[in-house]
Amino acid sequence: MYNLPFTGNLTEDPRVVTNSAGKRRAIVKIAVNEGERGTDSEKTHYLGFSTFDSLADNVAASLKKGDRVNIIARLNTFKKTFGVLTDGEFVEKEITQYGFTAKSVSPDLNWATAKVSKVARQHDEDAAVDEDEAPRKSAPAPRKAPVAASKPVAARRTSPAVSDDDF
């Protein structure tokens, strides 16, 4: 499935709910404007997104109503059957509904500034860590140069325009 980009303003504070299995989900609602402002072509679309686990917690802690955000999300479609009363008769109808699962949510830095704080993962719990207080990682150990394997002379390709030094 494709990831789709959206940019809009939050219409309410993100809300985190927890299901009976303990999985956290944030509900994020945005308004996306289309067309030229102040003309008849201007339209506003209201879209809802779900985020899960640490992204849900981070979105709820970082963003509030009115913030301009960029969201990368996956489109989910599913069938739903419901009853409709038509001409005094109860008829079942099947429709296709859609929803979006956000994979990335960020403030739109064209309209705001942000201070980034890394999140440290500790088992199943996530805890925000201020970058100034976070322990610094030491530099990785230098890598040893790989030992070049020599090819038998008969296996080497020779070309007047290309040599082994060109690679």
Q: What DSSP string runs through 139-157?
A: PPPPPPPPPPPPPPGGG--
Reduced to 3 states, what is the DSSP secondary structure of residue 114?
Answer: coil
Residue 144 binned pLDDT confidence (cut-offs 50, 70, 90): low
Asked if the structure places residue 136 within a domain, the reply is no
pLDDT at site 141: 56
pLDDT at site 128: 47
Asked if the structure places residue 156 within a domain, the reply is no
Task: Count Cβ atoms below 10 Å from residue 129 Cβ, excluding itself.
Answer: 14
Asked if the structure places residue 100 within a domain, the reply is yes
Q: What is the largest CA-CA distance in the chain?
A: 89
The span from the CA of 116 to the CA of 68, in Å, is: 16
The mean per-residue pLDDT over the stretch 152-166 comes to 47
Asked if the structure places residue 157 within a domain, the reply is no
Model confidence pLDDT, tens digit, residues 29-83: 999 999 888 898 899 999 999 999 999 999 999 999 999 999 999 999 999 998 8
User: Into how many domains does the chain fold?
Assistant: 1
The span from the CA of 14 to the CA of 64, in Å, is: 7
pTM above 0.75, yes or no: no
The mean per-residue pLDDT over the stretch 77-101 comes to 90
| Long-range contacts, stretch 86-92, CB < 8 angstroms, 24+ apart | none
pLDDT at site 166: 45
Asked if the structure places residue 151 within a domain, the reply is no
Asked if the structure places residue 62 within a domain, the reply is yes
What CATH number is associated with residue 78? Answer: 2.40.50.140
Asked if the structure places residue 23 within a domain, the reply is yes
Residue 9, CB half-sphere, CA atoms under 13 Å: how many? 9
Asked if the structure places residue 113 within a domain, the reply is yes
Model confidence pLDDT, tens digit, residues 13-31: 999 999 999 999 999 999 9
Q: Give the single-character DSSP code of 134.
A: S
- Across the chain, what does the average pLDDT equal? 80
Task: Count Cβ atoms below 10 Å from residue 60 Cβ, excluding itself.
Answer: 18
pLDDT at site 129: 47
pLDDT at site 89: 87
Residue 15, CB half-sphere, CA atoms under 13 Å: how many? 7
Q: Which domain holds residue 50?
A: 3-127
Contact in structure between 94 and 78 (CB atoms under 8 Å): no
